[in-house]
Chain A
């Protein structure tokens, strides 16, 4: 066997906490990476992915310590001194960090930061380095002049490209990418994935991609390792992990991720990962594993070969093979009947009238003016964040509002409650025209419409306990006496599956997990028995394994209790799985609206098709190339005619003149002049079309 590029054996990482306890963050990890190979490292938050990467870079914090063996091109790296470790960083192993939001120094130009490692490591002189910087920037799809710009002048996607260019500066042998696409928009995410794919194959680097986002791994990495509680529980070809997982955690993890195939059940993994500051006896997954048996709680399963190229750490693999219950559901094809049943429940005749109706809503934000403008008496300029949105939401229905960041989703949601004042248009709620109410008359209405925010860490008061948080709305609205409030709080907690409520009532937010916090946030909305819930990215800050739980909770509230839900999301797969209807927004307009089936299965607007193609599939076998778009436009400069025409792959000359409106009919509607013609050829451009 030839020498692997990178070989990790028995890597352990500990962090020292105050009070002499230790967190055993990485436990006996083995990893191999060949030249030109790409390996994914997946797992939930806290599973130790970043710790592995930092250990490989030799950049653990001072509280961290490690043991094990790391060989880079046959050379031991953990034992060398700081000097030679430093000389090898970036030269041999470079990194791309998460989101790139803060990975670049704000007071230095992009070019300076790309040149810096080349000069420090002496791989180029100043002139060469400058020239190479231009080439690199162009290679990653940025104009060479970007070198002179400061990080804050670039969009998130451009910054991440610049970071990739920076990582390539010294032609490293190994590229470590830690969550390279997290916190980016779908379309941008697809671009970065493509970019990484291209440069990695072109330069023949070994790449380790760390992510909690399984579709990203499915798209980028032929091989992957799944981490749980600091250990690798399964590794092998990504297809095999997906189609025939040999560890129950892998199977559950893949099932927890929604994708665009409408039929399949998505389920969260109950329970939470073990505490790493005390010894783990037996299998670390045992408390959450429904296939566990006696041996699992006493003996730790070792990672061993279970098929010629797949390793797993689970005792079941030593038993007759049927017991593993391989992911047969994936192979049996979609169960078509189920979703139809689910969708049928939301349509009784009594629920037909729209609860909420937005007509031609506009929201504008004034741009700040400088003194020159003031002297020159230039008219006030506005950003048209929402530019004529009309929507209807019925009781018992979940409407998903999707689109790239900055397309006006949140502004639309806020206009419903007049948290921002719409510049024009009307909002009707249950027959009453919200836009004409006085501030006072608005107050009772605000109780009937509740919001749930993106970040459960920010939205809960850290000093109140769960009881106080959930009760708050009742107290503020002077509803019920003490005992009645108590009953309602308990009922709300049970409704969000925090039961028995006694176990949670006295806890403070920091004593809850992210998923539990978001449940508390939902309970504090539910306790007021709202008729409409507006959820702004309710799961984007949560771990994959708990997302599905929150989303099915919302979907149940809607279908069982008849609450109407408006869910804002940038994640099409989420919308596809949980919503009844979908509205796709682009630059302040709804460009396509219809039922989930219509929009996801037979999209008609070119933008929807592009969005759909950008969604990587969780199944590694579906490896279609997405249609790529340029950078997202700004709402301050809306193009003439069809606002999508500068990016539209199907644009015709007339598109820059005619501003298409949403078709007047009911049902599945789009705003595109080509729509009547496109109808006949559904999904012609969709890359990742789902097998029927």
Chain B
């Protein structure tokens, strides 16, 4: 890594850290602004005894000043303590870890499929612009883009429900099966929700990639490439696509960042026990610590992915180096 690259990574990294710090602090303030004190919130826990409340209050150091509390909050965060869920009395962090472990494979599969397919359809419809191919591809993409997610999910259930599992991520009777069998089972369950995720994202990718490709195609260097006597496919892949995909990296990073956030609607429709479903339940049960933890995790993951996108952009576009 040369100096300017290190310089760039450092500058961007510092910015990402500052953003994360601000988000964490904002989270702290937001939490104090909620109606009722921490302890009254905690007292919503059924059967909480005064002794338990005092113990919790002491654990979180609520009798100290706000600044001290802030410092303690940061310290606890550093140790991974995100609080305790009201709903099941378990540490928020361990709840979240389980949910994320369920969500990430399903949503990643859908998102990656959408990225790959969307790029291909976007490039194809730009290259064949104003032909049947273009109209067909963009039309389809737009249609899927405009369908409500639940509706799309329900249609898929109606259509494919007889051949594919439609709810949960395991077959209940498969206890004690060898690991590969349960993995296959999970994959099988994943198909429909992932497909729904893919279809909802596809339209956006197709359109963004299409317009980026069209823009790159009108550049002078593409004319140069054609004048050089290159084959159409070479002009497309070596000269157009590489440039067209530059602006798309940011979009990709953003949606990868959101993978951690799960897909609330999809997970609800398919009862997928992931973080989206957990957030949905936390909202309906006013489980603030869970919400707070999920929010924190989501923002950090978005910030980190953006940082990675910046670094990738730096590698891809020589002009970013100053």
Same complex for A and B? Answer yes
| Complex Cα spacing A103 to B239, Å | 12
Contact of B228 (CB < 8 Å), options: A90, A101, A102, A153:
A90
Contact B317 A106 (CB under 8 A): yes
Nearest-neighbour CB distance to chain B for A110, whole angstroms, equals: 11
Contact A91 B224 (CB under 8 A): no
Instruction: List which B207-258 residues lie within 8 A (CB) of chain A.
Output: 219-221, 223-231, 234, 238-239, 242-243, 246
Contact B318 A106 (CB under 8 A): yes
| Complex Cα spacing A183 to B10, Å | 38
The stretch that binds B, out of A113-121, A337-345, A476-484, is A113-121
* A177 CB within 8 Å of chain B: no
Contact with B along A91-123 (1 / 0, CB 8 A): 100110100011111111000000011001100
| Complex Cα spacing A87 to B230, Å | 8
The stretch that binds B, out of A131-139, A365-373, A486-494, A596-604, is A365-373
Contact B231 A86 (CB under 8 A): yes
Nearest-neighbour CB distance to chain A for B58, whole angstroms, equals: 42
Q: CB-nearest residue of chain B relative to A102?
A: B220
| Complex Cα spacing A368 to B238, Å | 33
Contact A371 B14 (CB under 8 A): yes
Q: CB-nearest residue of chain A relative to B220?
A: A102
Contact residues in A for B68 (Cβ distance below 8 Å): none
* B79 CB within 8 Å of chain A: no
Contact A370 B7 (CB under 8 A): yes
Contact residues in A for B238 (Cβ distance below 8 Å): 108, 116
Contact with A along B1-32 (1 / 0, CB 8 A): 00100010011001000000000000000000
* A152 CB within 8 Å of chain B: yes
Contact with B along A420-456 (1 / 0, CB 8 A): 0000000000000000000000000000000000000
Contact of B318 (CB < 8 Å), options: A87, A101, A116, A150:
A150
Nearest-neighbour CB distance to chain A for B215, whole angstroms, equals: 12
* B45 CB within 8 Å of chain A: no
| Interface class of chain B by DSSP | helix
Contact residues in B for A371 (Cβ distance below 8 Å): 7, 10-11, 14
Contact of A89 (CB < 8 Å), options: B221, B227, B317:
B227
Q: CB-nearest residue of chain A relative to B242?
A: A107
Nearest-neighbour CB distance to chain A for B138, whole angstroms, equals: 19
* A520 CB within 8 Å of chain B: no
Q: CB-nearest residue of chain A relative to B8?
A: A370
Contact residues in A for B246 (Cβ distance below 8 Å): 107
| Complex Cα spacing A368 to B246, Å | 24
Contact B14 A117 (CB under 8 A): no
* A57 CB within 8 Å of chain B: yes
| Complex Cα spacing A368 to B225, Å | 35
Contact B10 A59 (CB under 8 A): no
Contact of A120 (CB < 8 Å), options: B11, B229, B242:
B229
* A88 CB within 8 Å of chain B: yes
Contact with A along B185-206 (1 / 0, CB 8 A): 0000000000000000000000
Contact B239 A105 (CB under 8 A): yes
| Complex Cα spacing A113 to B221, Å | 10
| Complex Cα spacing A272 to B230, Å | 39
Nearest-neighbour CB distance to chain B for A95, whole angstroms, equals: 5
Contact of A370 (CB < 8 Å), options: B11, B229, B243:
B11
Contact B229 A90 (CB under 8 A): yes
Contact A107 B322 (CB under 8 A): no
Q: CB-nearest residue of chain B relative to A89?
A: B229
Nearest-neighbour CB distance to chain B for A338, whole angstroms, equals: 44
- Given known A-B contacts A104-B224, A106-B243, A371-B7, A91 and B229 have beta carbons under 8 A apart: yes
| Complex Cα spacing A474 to B227, Å | 51
Contact A89 B228 (CB under 8 A): yes
- Given known A-B contacts A88-B229, A107-B318, A372 and B223 have beta carbons under 8 A apart: no
* B316 CB within 8 Å of chain A: yes
Contact B226 A104 (CB under 8 A): no
Contact of B223 (CB < 8 Å), options: A97, A101, A116, A150:
A97
| Complex Cα spacing A86 to B10, Å | 47
| Complex Cα spacing A90 to B223, Å | 12
| Complex Cα spacing A86 to B14, Å | 50
Contact residues in A for B322 (Cβ distance below 8 Å): 368
Contact residues in A for B219 (Cβ distance below 8 Å): 102
Nearest-neighbour CB distance to chain A for B173, whole angstroms, equals: 54
Contact residues in B for A105 (Cβ distance below 8 Å): 221, 224-225, 239, 243
Nearest-neighbour CB distance to chain A for B234, whole angstroms, equals: 7
Contact B230 A107 (CB under 8 A): no
Q: CB-nearest residue of chain A relative to B316?
A: A107
Nearest-neighbour CB distance to chain A for B284, whole angstroms, equals: 46
Q: CB-nearest residue of chain B relative to A107?
A: B242
Contact with A along B310-322 (1 / 0, CB 8 A): 0000001111001
| Complex Cα spacing A517 to B225, Å | 35
Contact A121 B229 (CB under 8 A): yes
Q: CB-nearest residue of chain B relative to A368?
A: B322
- Given known A-B contacts A105-B239, A107-B242, A371-B10, A120 and B220 have beta carbons under 8 A apart: no
Q: CB-nearest residue of chain B relative to A109?
A: B318
| Complex Cα spacing A120 to B230, Å | 7
Contact with A along B97-129 (1 / 0, CB 8 A): 000000000000000000000000000000000
Contact residues in A for B317 (Cβ distance below 8 Å): 106-107
Contact A106 B221 (CB under 8 A): yes
Contact A59 B227 (CB under 8 A): yes
Which of A106, A107, A371 lies at the interface centre, i.e. has the most chain B CB atoms within 10 A of its CB? A107
Instruction: List which A55-110 residues lie within 8 A (CB) of chain B.
Output: 57, 59, 86-91, 94-95, 97, 101-108
Q: CB-nearest residue of chain A relative to B320?
A: A152
Contact with A along B282-322 (1 / 0, CB 8 A): 00000000000000000000000000000000001111001
Nearest-neighbour CB distance to chain B for A202, whole angstroms, equals: 22
Contact residues in B for A95 (Cβ distance below 8 Å): 224, 227
Contact residues in B for A372 (Cβ distance below 8 Å): 3, 7, 10
Contact B229 A117 (CB under 8 A): yes
| Complex Cα spacing A152 to B320, Å | 10
Contact with A along B115-153 (1 / 0, CB 8 A): 000000000000000000000000000000000000000
Q: CB-nearest residue of chain B relative to A98?
A: B220
Which of B238, B242, B318 lies at the interface centre, i.e. has the most chain A CB atoms within 10 A of its CB? B318
Nearest-neighbour CB distance to chain B for A36, whole angstroms, equals: 22
Contact A102 B221 (CB under 8 A): yes
Q: CB-nearest residue of chain B relative to A105?
A: B221
Nearest-neighbour CB distance to chain A for B178, whole angstroms, equals: 48
Q: CB-nearest residue of chain A relative to B10?
A: A371
Contact A86 B229 (CB under 8 A): yes
Q: CB-nearest residue of chain B relative to A163?
A: B224
Contact residues in B for A150 (Cβ distance below 8 Å): 318-319
Nearest-neighbour CB distance to chain B for A80, whole angstroms, equals: 13
Nearest-neighbour CB distance to chain B for A87, whole angstroms, equals: 6
| Complex Cα spacing A44 to B223, Å | 23
Nearest-neighbour CB distance to chain B for A505, whole angstroms, equals: 35
Contact residues in B for A102 (Cβ distance below 8 Å): 219-221
| Complex Cα spacing A104 to B220, Å | 8
Contact residues in B for A368 (Cβ distance below 8 Å): 322
Contact of A152 (CB < 8 Å), options: B7, B226, B316, B318:
B318
| Complex Cα spacing A371 to B8, Å | 9
Contact residues in A for B11 (Cβ distance below 8 Å): 370-371
Nearest-neighbour CB distance to chain B for A158, whole angstroms, equals: 16
List the interface of chain A (C-beta within 8 A of B).
57, 59, 86-91, 94-95, 97, 101-108, 116-117, 120-121, 150, 152-153, 368, 370-372
Nearest first, the 9 closest Cβ-Cβ pairs linking A and B are A89-B229, A102-B220, A150-B318, A105-B221, A117-B228, A90-B228, A370-B7, A90-B229, A86-B229
A-B contact pairs, 30 of them (CB 8 A): A59-B223, A59-B226, A86-B229, A89-B226, A90-B227, A90-B229, A97-B220, A97-B224, A101-B220, A102-B221, A103-B220, A104-B224, A105-B224, A105-B225, A106-B318, A106-B319, A107-B243, A107-B316, A107-B318, A108-B238, A120-B228, A120-B229, A120-B234, A150-B318, A368-B322, A370-B7, A370-B11, A371-B7, A371-B14, A372-B3
Known contacts A103-B221, A120-B234; 10 further A-B pairs (Cβ under 8 A): A57-B227, A86-B231, A95-B224, A97-B223, A102-B219, A104-B221, A105-B239, A150-B318, A153-B318, A370-B11
